[in-house]
Structure 1
Amino acid sequence: MIKEFSWWRDTLDILIVSFIIYRIILLIKGTRALQMLNGFAVVFLFYIIAQKAELMILHWILTNFLSSIILIIIVIFQHDIRRALTRVGSVPFFSSTEDIDEATILDEVMKASIALSNKKIGAIIVLEREVGLKNYVDIGIKLDALVNKEILQSIFLPNSPLHDGAVIIQKGRLTAGSTLLPLTTNPVFDKTLGTRHRAALGLTDETDAVVIVVSEERGRVSLVEGGRIIQDLNVEELRKTLHGHFNKNKQKGLSLATE
């Protein structure tokens, strides 16, 4: 009986650790964190070589470096760690297609973005995913409207009282306008980017939202996600990229569609 319990305990232990490692890999996949972890792996390899070959000076340097590895990781990866912890603590909502189709929402957002781009009207459109954006909705002007091209365009017209700030889309509805977003504090970003792009990067540093930014000066359309920015998208590129991000959510049972 004791041996049987021990076997189940060991199996559970292995499954939990495997799941944690798998989730960590998913969180850092495609980010600078993965590249830097590869660098740490190379350093550790040199440490093993120095130890085996008795290279005393190199071994001493790497020993002191590795002894501070936890602090170094926290300092370097603070944005990635904060975003990961936020995602772990979030409660996802489940998909439903009762009221509105997700593809329709994304197409309306895409059409509005291109129309605003052609008119060189600046805009920030935020699409919620797993991590809730209630805090940002609360500091903006609350709305409850269908997502369509005409409404989105009218919000960002220069004479509109809501044109400053971002709009937020949650569960198939426009829920807030004129919302202020946090500017990125990440030192590794293009200093030529404007305030809208910095705000989009700031939000995606902390959440898993997808943000579309339309530049007022040049009318360029950018998509920001996970602290990364894809600039100067045309119609087809925007459609493909936008649908690609939310197709990943569908596989996990998540959706933009109304519950």
Structure 2
Amino acid sequence: MDGITLLRTVVDILVVAFLFYKIIQLARGTRAWQILTGLAVFFIALGLSRKLQLVTLSWLLGYLVYTGPVALVILFYPELRHGLEQMGRIGFWGSEFRLLGQQERSKVVEEVVKAASEMASRRIGALIAIERETGLDDIAETGKRVDAVLSAELLTTIFYPGTPLHDQAVIVRGTRIVAASCVLPLSEDPTVGLGVHTRHRAALGLTEQSDAVVVVVSEETGSISLCWDRRMVRGLNKDTLRDRLTSLLQPVVPPPAIPLRRGWLWKTKKTGTGSQ
């Protein structure tokens, strides 16, 4: 194998791995995640049935291989359409969140913490969704575009009762407020109790469909909650909210790349050339 063939193989593997990673990222938290798990179990069972020579089971599972895809497309058409829409968005391939420096991340955390603490003390309800890797353009389109620099004062003004944009949620992308008065999807989790208010259900609903972090301020109790990854933590104060946000908004550090030694590639190419 010469150097060019090796490089082509490495690129091929990396592209396929990246596509699989993105498919899993899209499916996570949706009905499609259960079907992917089921497919994995199905193909393991198919392989074992053939290995153990279970003729009837192998025939039945093999028949489903040809008829199953059509049924999956029909049953999961909404998820497939949503996934294709996400692939066409910039947020699917990259995000501003990943490009933020440490100082900018700290600035975002401080402004959100300051605003949440101020609104909690005044019993002002708020819903602040912070975009991470998954794009929230579809959510932003349900509200009014703002496109302003993030600040605690602006957040407090937006959510002040009686202002035109105080209802629903604010979307934060990077160091800017993208949109306000945005409608978040309500949680579809049947285990969420009836005592969970609509604002908190909406926050959980967004975390079921994306990797966003959502800060919730209750106008009834003045308590601060934080939602991410289909979970919710209540009763946060200024310090605990800052600690949680700082941890959640840290960039994901990729594993170190394995360097390719030039001498080894040259030696491989030379050996391959000599053997032809």
Q: TM-score range, shorter-chain basis?
A: 0.5 to 0.7
User: Is 2:131 aligned against 1:164?
Assistant: no
* Post-superposition offset of 1:141: 5.8
Which whole-Å CA distance do the structure 1 matches of 2:199 and 2:52 have between them? 53
Which whole-Å CA distance do the structure 2 matches of 1:84 and 1:186 have between them? 22
1:122-144 Cα offsets, whole Å, 9 max, x none, are 21112233426387268416363
* Post-superposition offset of 1:247: 0.9
CA RMSD after TM alignment: 4.3
The one-letter code of the counterpart of 1:209 is A
Q: Which runs of 5+ in 1 are unaligned?
A: 253-259
1:221-244 Cα offsets, whole Å, 9 max, x none, are 333345x23231523543233222
1:35-60 Cα offsets, whole Å, 9 max, x none, are 76455433433333333444455445
Which one has a bigger Cα radius of gyration? 2
1:190-236 Cα offsets, whole Å, 9 max, x none, are 3634332343345455554332222334444333345x232315235
User: Is 2:182 aligned against 1:183?
Assistant: no
Is the Cα–Cα contact under 8 Å of residues 146 and 174 in structure 1 kept in the other structure?
yes
Q: Which runs of 5+ in 2 are unaligned?
A: 255-276
SS in 1 for 2:15: helix
* Post-superposition offset of 1:187: 6.1
Name 1:117's counterpart in structure 2: 120
SS in 2 for 1:248: coil
Listed as ranges, the matches of 1:1-259 within 5 Å are 6-24=5-23, 37-67=36-66, 70=69, 75=75, 79=79, 82=82, 86=86, 89-90=89-90, 91-93=94-96, 95=99, 101-130=104-133, 131=135, 133=137, 136=140, 139-140=143-144, 142=146, 144-148=148-152, 150-177=153-180, 179-184=181-186, 186=188, 190=192, 192=194, 193-204=196-207, 207-225=210-228, 228-235=230-237, 236-248=239-251, 251=253
Q: How many residues align?
A: 246
- TM-score norm. by structure 2 comes to 0.64
- TM-score norm. by structure 1 comes to 0.67
Which whole-Å CA distance do the structure 1 matches of 2:67 and 2:218 have between them? 43
Is the Cα–Cα contact under 8 Å of residues 171 and 182 in structure 2 kept in the other structure?
no
- Identity of paired residues, percent? 31
